[in-house]
């Protein structure tokens, strides 16, 4: 089993747009030739676009891109820009004389970091497409991860910087990769040690609190605005999969979130995972193996998201990174 490569998944491209005015942005995964797609929405406060199309019983089999964005529901507008860019490239599903790009999307809430009037829009989605390439994606404070924060369960002042991360697993010539923007209410957990590595901090801000143990010991969480969190991502594979299998792959990817975030899938998270299959490997190793790979890649991507992040100080809100914790 390997977990590094010089490219993402053959046939797919990833691009980020990071807004220079405040920490927010969007990320696109492009499939110019189309990719079989599925989705699983597990959090209770999701913000999504065109996910109904991906139900196994519905008509559309392949999509041409996925957009992940900050900005809460306003950020869904970034998908409009991705559709426009793909149409200009002649990419899309034939509909009479035109080609219609199919671009589902999901958003996370980052409006508490800086000026909330600044959100990803159609131009942001367009520019993310312009920046897309098959190379391994940039990680940390970029794209949909630019304004991501983790560990807000006891208030954002005790939280830490989240981000976007990517990891891949290859078994017998088949690769599964995950690209995850982690903006979780809960802590990020090292899936190998089961110990928290980023999240809610103690009152002095110098150490991790361990939210799970604090909650079970009776410490009350701070009142939350609904949906002010959310982890979103795309699981991609070069295996040959059907639409039903892509849906199952997205579902099994949530096991990786459960290993790497605690608590996860809360009433204040809109956790959503997409799955894309290009078939470029020409192999179908079976769902037992692919599901295990998806969960592993997703868990690793979450950890990489916080390891790659760097701390920020925006309008007096100081959010340290994992590397900076305890230095203050």
Residue written as tokens 């599901």? 291
Q: Structural domain boundaries of the chain?
A: 13-311
What pLDDT score does 1 carry?
A: 52
Contact (Cβ atoms closer than 8 angstroms) between residue 103 and residue 2:
no
Mean pLDDT value across residues 59-64: 94
Confidence of residue 67 (pLDDT cuts 50, 70, 90): very high
Average pLDDT over residues 42-67: 94
Report how far residue 189's alpha carbon sits from residue 212's, in angstroms, rounded to the nearest whole number: 11
Phi/psi of residue 194, nearest 5 degrees:
65, 20
- How far, in Å, CA of 132 to CA of 268, rounded? 31
pTM above 0.85, yes or no: yes
Nearest CA to 274 out of 55, 18, 2, 84 is that of 55
With bands split at pLDDT 50, 70 and 90, how would you rate the model's confidence at 328? very low
pLDDT above 50: residue 177: yes
Domain 13-311 bears CATH identifier 3.60.70.12: yes
| pLDDT level of residue 3 (50, 70, 90 thresholds) | very low
Q: DSSP string covering 188-254, please?
A: EEETTTTEEEES-B-TTSSSB--HHHHHHTTPPPPP--TT---EEEEEEESS---HHHHHHHHHHHH
Under the banding of pLDDT at 50, 70 and 90, the label for residue 325 is: confident
What was the pLDDT predicted at 4? 44
Q: Give ∠ CA 285-291-292 in degrees, rounded to 5.
A: 95
CA gap 168, 300 in Å, rounded = 8
For the chain, give the mean pLDDT. 94
- Say if residue 5's pLDDT is above 60: no
Cα–Cα distance, 91 to 85 (Å, whole number): 9
């Amino acid at each position: 089993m390997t977990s590094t490569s010089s490219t993402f998944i053959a046939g797919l491209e990833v691009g980020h747009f990071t807004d220079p005015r405040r920490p927010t942005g969007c990320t696109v995964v492009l499939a110019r030739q189309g990719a079989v797609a599925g989705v699983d929405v597990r959090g209770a406060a999701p913000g999504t676009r065109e996910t109904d199309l991906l139900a196994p019983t519905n008509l559309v089999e392949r999509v041409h891109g996925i957009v992940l964005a900050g900005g809460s529901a306003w950020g869904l507008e970034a998908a409009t820009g991705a559709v426009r860019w793909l149409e200009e490239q002649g990419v899309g599903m034939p509909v009479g004389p035109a080609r219609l790009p199919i671009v589902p999307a999901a958003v996370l809430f980052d409006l508490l970091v800086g000026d909330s009037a600044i959100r990803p829009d159609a131009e942001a989605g367009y520019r993310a497409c312009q920046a897309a390439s098959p190379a391994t994606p940039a990680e940390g404070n970029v794209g949909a991860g630019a304004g991501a924060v983790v560990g807000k369960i006891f208030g954002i002042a005790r939280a830490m910087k989240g981000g976007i991360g990517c990891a891949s697993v290859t078994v017998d010539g088949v690769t599964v990769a995950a690209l995850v923007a982690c903006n979780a209410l809960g802590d990020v957990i090292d899936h190998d040690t089961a110990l928290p590595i980023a999240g809610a901090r103690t009152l002095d801000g110098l150490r991790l609190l361990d939210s799970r143990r604090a909650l079970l010991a009776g410490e009350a969480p701070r009142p939350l605005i609904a949906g002010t969190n959310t982890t979103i991502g795309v699981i991609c594979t070069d295996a040959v999969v059907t639409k039903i299998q892509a849906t199952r792959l997205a579902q099994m990817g949530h096991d990786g979130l459960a290993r790497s975030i605690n608590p996860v899938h809360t009433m204040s998270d809109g956790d959503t995972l997409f799955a894309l299959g290009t078939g470029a490997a020409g192999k179908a190793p079976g769902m037992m193996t692919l599901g295990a790979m998806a969960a592993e890649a997703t868990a690793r991507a979450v950890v990489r998201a916080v390891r790659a992040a760097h701390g920020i100080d925006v309008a007096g809100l100081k959010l340290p990174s994992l590397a900076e914790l305890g230095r203050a």
